[in-house]
Chains A and B, each alone.
Chain A
Amino acid sequence: MEDQQQKILLVEDEKNLAFNLELNLKAEGFEVYTAGDGELALEHYHNQGPFSAIILDVMIPEIDGFEVAKTIRKKDNTTGILMLTARAGDEDRVKGLSIGADDYLTKPFLLEELVLRVKRMAERAKMYRELPNSQTRPTLINAGPFELDKANLTLKSPQGTFELTVLEADVLEEFLSNPEQTLSRKHLLNKVWGLPGNIETRTVDNFILRIRRFLEADPANPKYLCSIRGKGYRLNLEDKPDESTQE
């Protein structure tokens, strides 16, 4: 069980980069399966899984990284996906995160940052896979019209019932446990992603856009999960004078 949870699927077609990443991940105690194209990545995923985390390059031969992420997300909500790419445009970042990637790192990157992110993903996957048997953590979290089931990774909201990825569930848990409180991007990055606050925070913004689809009737004009300019985000459950400002 322990071995299975420490497996990493590395999808990278640049052989030098793949070699270095594999070496470092192995040194961190992970079992690494490397694929140089999208087809092999899905083959490894089906035959060698479950994986604790997937490091996925976008521009890979055969099937591109976005398609690979989409295919995996259709049946797997617990494996963390970190998009690792040379494409730095915001459009790609939003696309990657909206199809189910949990994190996005642009090349070149710091080794320490990558290892930190992957470790956090692996921990999260391990925790969720063990959650149904755990007696210590509450699995149902209610706040206002929302009910988050962490064991089954679902959210009931006025918009319907949604299946969540583990990171989506973690982000929602943070908001549902702290309603009416403004949570800064750094706080979210630290508490949910497990990363120090000096790392860029655009991932958080892109991720909030994804979360809003589950909560809001009109995600472009959020009623519940609002941006507080210069401060962060707040989950509004009561109707009170609107202090929030959309960004």
Chain B
Amino acid sequence: MKASHHQKLNKFYSILRWMVHPVVVFVTLQIIWLAITLMWVFWFLESFQEIAKIAEIVGSSYLDNQYALIILIVGCILLGMLLVGTVMLFVTSQKQSHLMSQHKSFLSSVTHELRSPLASLQLTFETMKTRQIDGDTRNKMLEMAMEDIERLTRLVDQILVSSRLDRGLRGFSEEAEHLCLGEFIKTTALRAQWLDPDIEKRLEIICPQELEIHVPIPVMRLIISNLVENAIKYSPKGNPIKILVTLKEGMITIAVKDDGFGLSSADKKRIFRMFHRASITQKKAIPGTGLGLFIVKSLAKTLGGHAWAESPGKDKGSTFYLSFPVT
């Protein structure tokens, strides 16, 4: 008896939840709104003569026949504007809600990314405090702790940089320096050893010898490390990652190619947006914050270039490109 009462109550709540869903409420309100508008127009057209008579008795000249059309048009414009206003409010609120859900997912990703190195650090120091460990192990643990600290620093940097980029590129100016591109790419890519200790074996870099460019080093480092880390995360362990640098008509193009999970056409459009993460990330439990490619795209602009992605489709790998003028 009690159970069936609860079942009925649950059914009632689920119907109620459906009824107060924003889209249902919005559509219902618009139907009511349109019905009222149409009723008002019909009522106005039918009753105008009587209203005019009353106006005549009262002595008002504003309800003469000549004003009927004007009143009708003004009324319709007013109601139309209200209709457009509510649609705009609805669209804005939907966008806001989408943004909020993206923020929520971002917070959850960042929390996850913070927790792992923190757990490792905590365990390292607890172990050092409570266990008798030999010198070699102690040194190894200290190296690991440094790696974890570096990882945390990188995450904080990513958040700070994306926040600065989100406010616009104006405040983002770094001093340009000379660098040998091939050597620089190799050194930067190998820093991703924290993500894959075998990265050196997987990596193939093809770059014109002695190619020197004049760019802000921190900007270049962020771009390359994000593209390489992405290739590692989104391709099976051990599969090759190819970096190809070409110089053509005063433009340098860096292509980072993997034969990993690829991109769907929907992901290809959104992958560079802030907080957006490819649909595969949930399924494959791939860590990340949804900031890396946003940073790449924004920083490419600071170099006067642009970034884009190509992929033949899901499970067919992808290539990320960065193109910028030689300076």
Contacts and interface: CB of A to CB of B under 8 A. Distances in A.
The 8 closest A-B pairs by CB, nearest first: A107-B119, A86-B115, A108-B119, A59-B285, A16-B144, A20-B123, A16-B120, A17-B120
Nearest to A24: B127
B120 A20 contact: yes
B319 to A, nearest CB: 22
Nearest to A21: B123
A162 interface: no
Contact of A19 (B6, B115, B144): B144
A21 B6 CA distance: 47
Interface residues of A, number: 31
Interface stretch (A151-159, A216-224, A226-234): A216-224
Interface residues of B, number: 36
A23 B3 contact: no
Interface string A48-67: 00000000001111001100
Interface string B187-230: 00000000001000000000000000000000000000000000
B289 to A, nearest CB: 13
B124 A220 contact: no
A108 B197 CA distance: 23
B65 interface: no
A17 B285 CA distance: 18
A58 B147 contact: no
Interface in A97-113: 106-111
A81 to B, nearest CB: 17
A88 interface: yes
B130 A111 contact: yes
A37 B285 CA distance: 11
Residue of A60, A61, A86, A87 with most chain B CB atoms under a 10 A cut-off: A86
A46 interface: no
A14 interface: yes
Interface string B85-124: 0000000000000000000000010011101111111111
